[in-house]
Structure 1
């Protein structure tokens, strides 16, 4: 898979058929080996993308922010590193964003506060730093969204960690 700087070998038998799925709405690729490029118009109608548990490495490609129809994005339980892309601010329909259990670093982009549809947000168990966002939908997320980030701070009196 070509995933930003990440690569995973592709072992499917009919690769061309995958690229012709213009009306694809939901894609779940847990623990699969495949090659995708998100830089085209082929995935514009995609509403759910689950790439969790794939042992992906490298940075999250900023092109994912161009998938304007996404309502759910799950990149959890991989080995992704680098920053959370600022391009995620363009995901105006996103309701669920799970990028937990990776090696992401840096701060949570302030621009994500403008994602008013966001109801589920999980960045736990990364290496994020700075302060958790506190405006918009982000004031509704409890500490479990952030736990496991030793350099990330938040108002624990307002958002305790629920186990």
Structure 2
């Protein structure tokens, strides 16, 4: 069963299950919270036999691409427990996110990736841009960063960008 919950609606038990799964999936980026840098808008997760076996955090935000603002769902901390990997769960989570995005009139899904294969298979397209974002770590604000990044991926939901993406402003933290 797939479920989407707003962060404010998560029980302590669900938060703990997500935190444990997330920490197993990202051993170099441990957190004592169910999120890494900033609390997400919500989480989309998959349960099997009452156990959360995969999830992705969803960031709801307006970002600016070139000079145009867009409504996006950012994808963050997508993981699937090792024993359930290679069964299509990550792709199913991304399919569920697409449906939710379409229903909510979201323009794009966007993410930062170190591996593009899964996301390309799910209609995300890589791009590079001059980017700005708020640096946040351990609940501290370290100011605005500005640099060229080349590990961004985007999936069109309700809009199409007809120009080259040159500038990207996250209008908040990078996810």
Same fold (TM over 0.5): no
Q: Give me the TM-score of the superposition, normalised by structure 1.
A: 0.29
- Name the structure with the higher strand share: 2
TM-score between the two structures when normalised by the length of structure 2: 0.27
